[in-house]
Amino acid sequence: MADLCNRLSANISYDCTTAHRAIGGLDGGKAVLINKSDIDLTALTQSGATVTNLTLKSGSKGYEIGWIKQLGNTATEFSVNDGLDTFNHSFACRVFGQSATDAERIKELSSGEFVLVVATKFAGAGNVDKYKVFGIENGLRMSEGSASSLENDGSFLFKIGSVENFGETYPFNVYLEGTYAASKTKYDALFLGA
């Protein structure tokens, strides 16, 4: 019997048209962080790398994290493991404030498990590839964090990422609720649960 799991199934072509050309960077200066435990996994559907029906449990919502310039960044790294190779996701950003409220958010980041949804500058034809999801299978946890009163205006730099040996199947997932408009509506509403 042929091994169909480890085979390339289509051409990898170069397309320089505007809709298909890769564009680096995140769009909008914000992302949505969702507590992984707040996702209604019974509603979630996935077809290949595309995620739909990203619904939160009743009364739950995602939380916006904002940044300026290019101070928010996603990354993916391929990881060779015995038996099951995976992709490790990460998101680097910062908490700009130094209030007691900011300290509370940093503490929550340090102990939580999250899924990240972000708008990318690359949107594809009809904007259907605009939103990317990181950590949908195994979540992201804080892997780095530091602050110095002499650097970065004292802001707290952090990274959340895949836990070692608990990576993801895809380098990223595309979030699409059928249309760009429907996806944007849920994203802008922070995926507010009914």
Structure-block tokens of residue 25: 């960077």
Q: Rounded to an integer, what distance in angstroms lies between the CA atom of residue 60 and that of residue 141?
A: 19
Q: What is the CA radius of gyration of the chain?
A: 18
Q: What is the mean pLDDT of the chain?
A: 91
Three-class SS of residue 168? strand
Three-class SS of residue 111? helix
The residue type at 176: L
Query: pLDDT (tens digit, 9 = 90+) per residue, 40-99?
Result: 999 999 999 999 999 999 999 999 999 999 899 999 999 998 778 999 999 999 999 999
Q: pLDDT at residue 6 above 50?
A: yes
pLDDT of residue 13: 74
Residue 193, CB half-sphere, CA atoms under 13 Å: how many? 17
Bridge partners of residue 194, in order along the sequence: none
Q: Rounded to an integer, what distance in angstroms lies between the CA atom of residue 86 and that of residue 143?
A: 18
* CA distance readout (Å), 151 to 73, 77, 120, 145, 174: 19, 28, 28, 13, 35
pLDDT-derived band at 19, boundaries 50, 70, 90: low
* 189 backbone dihedrals φ, ψ, rounded to 5°: -90, 10
Triad 68, 26, 24: Cα angle to 5°: 120
pLDDT of residue 1: 41
Q: pLDDT at residue 30 above 80?
A: yes
Mean pLDDT of 178-189: 96
